[in-house]
Amino acid sequence: MTLISRTRARGVETIGLDSPHNRNALSAALVGELADALTDCGKDGDIRAVVLTHTGNTFSAGADLRDPPPPDALVGLLRQIVGLPKPVVARVTGHVRAGGLGLLGSCDIAAASTGATFAFTEVRIGVAPAAITLPLLPRTDPRALSRYCLTGERFDAAEAARIGLLTASGDDVDAVLEPVLDGLRRASPQSLAETKRLLTARVLEAFDRDAADLTALSARLFASADAREGMTAFLERREPPWAL
């Protein structure tokens, strides 16, 4: 079963996360398919930009707890988005949780409809937002990131835009993105690639410096007793024992 969809219009490749049965959770299979599609896009001279979107009411619920990708695979996917020599634009019309926020942070431009919601839910299942901080820390308001990563609170699209997680939000996300995509189509492919390289240099430095340590941290936390209990509680739709 294919877990992503692909369409193209006027030089813009749209890749849709198409696994609504599990809220587009980042399974090993989905991460692999998305990485392969991005590799194709990077090599295709006819593609000017990539739009990353979704089917269903959730952009991504984060790591698939039943079939999680290896930590290095998720880190590799995030770095691939940042390093792709074409702009990657996130188009969100639903909810985003945990590792899904890493996808947003890796994109060059991100827009969402006003009904979208966001939450760093890792702390509630006994782990930490380890790998996804690589693209988020250089791009997101540090005070806001501290609050939402430590509390797991849900916040809306306007707040996501205020703190730098999103570029913009609006009632009609396609109307928000129309001038963005028009601008990308008018730009020289060489100029887009070189400008993106300049803009992502700091983010890629963070990956090169910290990815190995954060991958090891993620693996250790997911193997912990807290994580086992937190994930079991989540799947059983009950509170974990540490919730007061």
Give the three-class secondary structure for 222: helix
Q: Check residue 66 and give its pLDDT.
A: 86
Distance CA 32, CA 229 (A): 28
Q: What is the pLDDT of residue 1?
A: 77
Question: What pLDDT, on the 0 to 100 scale, is given for residue 233?
Answer: 95
- The pLDDT value recorded for residue 120 is 98
Per the structure block, which two tokens stand in for 184?
């990308």
Q: What is the pLDDT of residue 85?
A: 97
Regions of the chain short of the pLDDT cut 50? none
Amino acid making up residue 53: T
What DSSP line would sit under 92-158, residue for residue?
Answer: ESSEEETHHHHHHHHSSEEEEETT-EEE--GGGGT----TTHHHHTTTS-HHHHHHHHHH--EEEHH
Return the number of other C-beta atoms located less than 10 Å from residue 21's C-beta.
10
pLDDT at residue 67, as a whole number: 87
Give me the pLDDT at residue 35, please. 98
pLDDT of residue 153: 98
What residues does each domain of the chain span? 4-173
Interaxial angle between packed helices 71-83 and 28-43, expressed in degrees from 0 to 180 and rounded to the nearest 10: 20
Q: What gap in Å lies between CA 218 and CA 223, rounded to an integer?
A: 9
Element (H, E) at 31: helix 28-43
Per-residue pLDDT at 68 = 85
Closest-CA residue to 17 (of 8, 6, 28): 6
Token look-up 């693209």 returns: 135
Task: Decide yes or no: CATH 1.10.260.40 for domain 4-173.
Answer: no
Tokens of 88: 């990657």
- Walk across the sheet containing 88-92 and list its strands: 4-9, 12-17, 49-54, 88-92, 109-113, 168-170
Measured in degrees and rounded to the nearest 5, phi and psi for residue 227 equal -65, -40
User: Model pTM?
Assistant: 0.96
Here the tokens at position 211 are 């990815």
